[in-house]
Structure 1
Amino acid sequence: MRDWAKTLRHASFRGVPFWVDGEDPEVGRRVVAHEISGGDASLTEDMGARTKTIFVEAYVAGDLADVAGHALERACGAPGASLLILPMDAGETAHCLSCSRSRRKDRNGFIAYRLEFMKAGGAVAFTASGLGQLRTAFDAGVAAVSVLIAAQF
């Protein structure tokens, strides 16, 4: 029997780590329906693939949850696409479209996030090397925090 816990990757965006409670990638086709006046049938036209969107229920936890949460928010707010790594899928370049924080008073040390990413398309100037990730994280102002948080994983 497969040990899933050992095969899943640690999640991160711009090199900033987080935990994943759930992920919902959304793919499909762009289809237009042409409804003909006076007709009983419509014509459909396939316009190509939709841009992949990924919704992630993420969280940070522990004594440094506040620091980790701010690092994740800064990484999500930085311009441009970067490497998104999720537990089940291979890493891919994506833009963070939204980052919504949810903190509850009875769950101190735990901060939940609802993240929305869109797969980057076209010519994306990004390197997936470790040095490239460190540079990207540093540019987002979170390099020092990432190193501290990585010790928790």
Structure 2
Amino acid sequence: MPDVKPPTTPALRKDTTTTTAPVDHGEPLLPDDEGKRIALRMRHAVVGFVDGPRDAVAEADQALEELAARLTEAMDRRRRTLRRSWQPADAAEYRPTTADTTTVDTATADTTTVDTTTADTATADTTTADTATVDTEQLRLTLRDYRELTERLLRL
């Protein structure tokens, strides 16, 4: 049987010596201690449901908000690392802003602002009315959804 040699053409050869960015395949986005702390906050909210259902849901909301912020920060760090691996050094810190990527038509923006304000007012009125009628079962289902979403995000 003839000896099989690895391909010698650059397109087919895997060269791992030129990697400039650290590769972190499969590593969690958050450090273990941070993920455990947020998971503990969520468990505390679930356990506290019996004594204060509305407070438990509010605590779950805050835990999910913190998790989302930490994940956003972690993804931004990883994206910057990836960007440094393919962009020239002077362009690595470039971050497009909304002004760089969006063209605003002032006539449309004014109309949108008015519509958004009207929609927010209507939503606020509905939310206030709904808050008084939310029963314990709805709070339980909401807390369950917060817990499930938090657990899914912690697995990332």
Name the TM tier (shorter chain): under 0.3
TM-score, normalised via structure 2 length: 0.24
TM-score, normalised via structure 1 length: 0.24
Give the number of the structure with larger relative contact order, counting CA–CA contacts within 8 Å between residues 6 or more apart.
Answer: 2
Larger fraction in strand:
1
Larger Rg: 2
Larger fraction in helix:
2
